[in-house]
Amino acid sequence: MSIRLLLCISLLVLASCNNAVYKSRTAKSTEINGPGIIQLPVVADLNVRPAKVSFTVDDKRKSLNLRQLKEAAIAGALQEQKADVLVEPTFSIDSRRGMNTVTVTGWPADYARFRNMDTTDIRLVEAGSLYKAQTNTTLADVEKPRKRKGGILAVVITGVIVLLTILASPT
């Protein structure tokens, strides 16, 4: 009887193992607009580096959509170059056997010389020389739990051993 109990407990222990790993990075921003809020306009210089860079992300687990892969590629390029923004990013997407690979190419840039807007900046805005760049403000890197391929096999083998032990033991 104790062998049966030991085998049942070992079956339950093996079936309950889980090595899930979750990782996430996000960045959020908010606009300051609303009644009673007075803000001073701030401008900054954008120092664009002369060398174009590339970064590639692939989805081996086939768990991310293209938007998430593009964001992950931009985040990887920015992190690798220690840059604030990627100017004029272009994407190359390769899909083979259901696995997507995204490569982003662009110029890394850094914000510098933050200052309050002065009269020269106002003239540029009025002339239409400045425009608000369309940027992505949320960058996500999500890693889903790895599927355990050997877990089911271990449970089945243990179950067969328990069954054979029960059938072979004299009652």
Burial of 25 (0-12, 13-18, 19+ CB in 10 A): exposed
Q: What are the φ and ψ backbone dihedral angles of 45, each rounded to 5 degrees?
A: -85, 150
Give the residue among 81, 76, 68 at the shortest CA–CA distance from 140: 68
Residue 49 C-alpha from the chain's centroid: 25
pLDDT in tens, the chain (171 residues): 567 666 666 666 666 555 555 555 565 555 666 677 777 788 888 899 999 999 999 988 777 888 888 999 999 999 999 999 999 999 998 888 778 899 999 999 999 999 888 887 777 767 655 555 555 544 444 444 455 556 677 777 877 787 777 777 765
44 with 118: CB under 8 angstroms?
Answer: no
User: What number of other Cβ atoms are within 10 A of residue 74's Cβ?
Assistant: 22
Say how many Å lie between the first and final Cα of the chain, rounded: 10
Phi-psi region of 100 (alpha: psi -120 to 50; beta: other; left: phi over 0): beta
Domain boundary assignment for the chain: 1-18+148-171, 22-28+39-144
Q: What is residue 85's three-state secondary structure?
A: strand
Query: Considering all CA atoms of the chain, what is the largest pairwise distance in Å, rounded to the nearest integer?
Result: 97
Query: What residues have CB less than 8 Å from 72, skipping those under 6 apart?
Result: 57, 64, 102, 139, 140, 141
